[in-house]
A and B are shown apart, each in its own frame.
Chain A
Amino acid sequence: MELELKLLWTAIVLYVLGGSLAVIGVVFRKRPERSILGLLLLGWFMHTATLTLRWIRLDHGPFMTMFEILSSNVWSLVLVFMIAYWRIKAIRPAAAVVMPILFVMMGWLMLSSPGEAHFPQSFRTPWLFIHIGFGKVFLGAVLVAVGLSIVIQSRRTLRGLACFQSLPEDARLDELAYRFMALGLVFNSLMLIAGAIWAQDAWGRYWAWDPLETWAFLTWLVLVFYLHLRSTYRIAPRSGSLLVLAVFVAAFLTFFGVPFISTAPHKGAV
């Protein structure tokens, strides 16, 4: 376990270095993009190693405790963001706002107990991995959209405008955020379907309106509301980006809030 924690600390230090470099790059109008991607990638490999070691030691995936859920989500969110960072060069300075969001999760992770929890038999099904995998892609897509939305919002100020002048104009960022949210809807829907199949086998019901299911449905509705509004009306990028942030808040509460205040058996294995 000591090695696992050392690797995790190393990964987090590398993530923080990469994120800090992104912030410095934006503030000083530099683009050390290869160094940022290198640091994130190295950190992600360390993180993969620590998760693998824990998986082997406990004989189950990182899905049970808050420590495991935060760790696996930081891992998947970094992965999704790295792919976006690598493929869409024009938005790379957005790392300066995305990484600080992940820093908050990393801080929370470091304060969580790395203890173990029982892995019930009802979790030993391929549908758990499918459900979780779709959920992670959904949250990753929303995170990229949130990064773009924060850039749009920060450009309301002169300082923000100066820092993010190298990024495409607001309308284009808004369009890209919309596309990531559409991708998020597809994967959120898949997550709900896979979760219902799993719940049917695990607890003998596919949907029971338990707090987590209700919040997941509300998140889906808010996401659908945003996409309908965005495709039906001409919404200004600044207003659209606020809606993206609202979806993120709902999703964040669903993933990291509700499972830990609910007493239902559905404990949010995400």
Chain B
Amino acid sequence: MILPQPNLLHIATRLASPKLTLAGFALLGAAAIAVYQLGDSAAAWLAGPLLLLAVNLIGAVASNGVFRRQLPLLVFHLALIALVLLAAISRLTYLKGAADVTEGTAFGGLWRQVAGPLHPDRLNEVQFINEGFDISYKPGPLRDLTLNRVRWIADDGRERVEQIADNRPLVSHGYRFYPSSNKGFAPVLLWLPKEGVPVLGAVHLPSFPVNRFTQSRDWRPAGAKSDIWIMLDVPEDLIPADRASRFNAPQQYPLVLRRGDLRREMRPGERVSLPDGDVEYRELRTWMGYSVFYDWTLPWMLSACVVAVLSMGAHFWNKFAAKPWNREN
């Protein structure tokens, strides 16, 4: 017996099944809950339900004659298909991460990142230097405007200087760097081991002022036999609560260094001898934390949204202009 071959229309009708729509939304809901529970690492799971919904919508558009009679409605649904597909692709190729960069140094990578499985890693092409920031505070203290000066190599290879801010990221090679509320002090220390090569490092103390009572960190440079505990002794009201102020480095306050029974207060330029080497406190700088985001689909998604809304508006306009609301059919 020869079975009839299912034609394309039949397949499209099957794909347009409302049951598939419900299944797609149920899976999308489950994936959204997974993102809630597991965080961004589950974001790629959204791709499956979105692709399923896109296929379902393609089936509906292909099998329903109303779309061939009403052009704006067809355009709206095609834009919606493009949007759903782009959202799915976005979850496979995006990146979200965080980086901390010491004042006066170059970006050297992310300390935390979540990326889609197909993310085209081009972060090593990004080159910028954090040239310091200026943050104003309102009484509270409440962080107000954050301005961060960056020197960077643009995609065309030219060097540029830009002031980025809360709503204005640095965009390089598709990666968007937003200055975050995460920032603090970074004492620059020179470690001169008894054996081995000297190490110059900046220790990023916990974010300030949110951790103003715990401005300390353990540091173990290469060649050191144990951790060196360092603390910046800053006054509680460095950023006062009762008046407007700015973020400023407490240059006049000492850096406390402790290892075992040894405790020393150091000023910039001072050196302390330890059994396995010397530590020299060079200067106090700041560090800035960045939220990093990559998604090449953004302009395309926005375009699809604009087309969708315009065509939806045109569809309703045509439909409602044809007949007043208070007239019978």
Contact A204 B178 (CB under 8 A): yes
Contact A221 B25 (CB under 8 A): yes
A202: min CB distance to chain B, Å: 6
Query: For residue A127, which residue of chain B has the nearest CB?
Result: B167
Query: For residue A176, which residue of chain B has the nearest CB?
Result: B325
- Per-position 1/0 for B285-301, Cβ under 8 A of A: 00000011101001001
Contact B169 A204 (CB under 8 A): yes
Rounded to whole angstroms, the CA-CA distance of A168 and B324 in the bound complex is: 13
- Per-position 1/0 for B142-169, Cβ under 8 A of A: 1111100000000000000000011111
- B302 interface hit (Cβ, 8 Å): yes
Rounded to whole angstroms, the CA-CA distance of A120 and B166 in the bound complex is: 10
Q: Which residues of chain A from 200 to 225 have any CB-CB distance to chain B below 8 Å in the complex?
A: 200-206, 208-209, 214, 221
Within 8 Å by CB of A118, from B32, B140, B165, B295, lies: B140
Contact A124 B167 (CB under 8 A): yes
Find chain A residues with CB under 8 A from B96 CB.
204-205
Rounded to whole angstroms, the CA-CA distance of A209 and B87 in the bound complex is: 13
Query: For residue A186, which residue of chain B has the nearest CB?
Result: B313
Chain A interface size, as a band, is 20 to 34
Query: For residue A205, which residue of chain B has the nearest CB?
Result: B293
The interface-forming segment of B235-243, B251-259, B304-312 is B304-312
Contact A204 B167 (CB under 8 A): no
- A267 interface hit (Cβ, 8 Å): no
Q: A175-B325, A186-B313 are in contact. Are A200 and B25 (CB under 8 A)?
A: no
- B213 interface hit (Cβ, 8 Å): no
Find chain B residues with CB under 8 A from A185 CB.
312
- B7 interface hit (Cβ, 8 Å): no
Interface centre among A182, A183, A221 (most CB of B within 10 A): A182
B327: min CB distance to chain A, Å: 8
Contact B305 A125 (CB under 8 A): no
- A179 interface hit (Cβ, 8 Å): yes
- A162 interface hit (Cβ, 8 Å): no
Contact A179 B325 (CB under 8 A): yes
Query: For residue B180, which residue of chain A has the nearest CB?
Result: A204
Contact B169 A190 (CB under 8 A): no
Q: Which residues of chain A from 87 to 130 have any CB-CB distance to chain B below 8 Å in the complex?
A: 90, 118, 120-122, 124-125
Q: A204-B293, A221-B25 are in contact. Are A186 and B138 (CB under 8 A)?
A: no
Contact A204 B320 (CB under 8 A): no
Rounded to whole angstroms, the CA-CA distance of A203 and B82 in the bound complex is: 25
Rounded to whole angstroms, the CA-CA distance of A38 and B302 in the bound complex is: 42
Contact B305 A193 (CB under 8 A): yes
Find chain A residues with CB under 8 A from B35 CB.
208-209
Contact B309 A90 (CB under 8 A): no
Q: A168-B326, A202-B167 are in contact. Are A182 and B309 (CB under 8 A)?
A: no
Find chain B residues with CB under 8 A from A90 CB.
326
- A48 interface hit (Cβ, 8 Å): no
Q: A193-B309, A200-B298, A204-B178 are in contact. Are A172 and B166 (CB under 8 A)?
A: no
Contact B316 A182 (CB under 8 A): yes
Rounded to whole angstroms, the CA-CA distance of A68 and B298 in the bound complex is: 32
Find chain A residues with CB under 8 A from B138 CB.
118
Interface centre among B138, B167, B308, B320 (most CB of A within 10 A): B167
Rounded to whole angstroms, the CA-CA distance of A196 and B325 in the bound complex is: 34
- B176 interface hit (Cβ, 8 Å): yes
Contact B309 A121 (CB under 8 A): no
Contact A121 B165 (CB under 8 A): yes
B218: min CB distance to chain A, Å: 30
Query: For residue B31, which residue of chain A has the nearest CB?
Result: A209
- Per-position 1/0 for B217-239, Cβ under 8 A of A: 00000000000000000000000
- Per-position 1/0 for A125-143, Cβ under 8 A of B: 1000000000000000000
Task: Give the top 6 A-B pairs by smallest Cβ distance, nearest first.
Answer: A121-B166, A204-B291, A201-B167, A204-B178, A176-B325, A204-B293
A–B complex contacts, Cβ < 8 Å, 27 sampled: A118-B138, A118-B142, A120-B166, A121-B143, A122-B167, A175-B325, A176-B326, A179-B316, A182-B316, A186-B309, A189-B308, A189-B312, A193-B302, A193-B305, A193-B306, A193-B309, A200-B293, A201-B169, A203-B291, A204-B96, A204-B178, A204-B291, A206-B295, A206-B301, A209-B32, A209-B35, A221-B25
Interface, chain B (partner A; CB < 8 A): 25, 32, 35-36, 96, 138, 140, 142-146, 165-169, 176, 178, 291-293, 295, 298, 301-302, 305-306, 308-309, 312-313, 316, 320, 325-326, 328
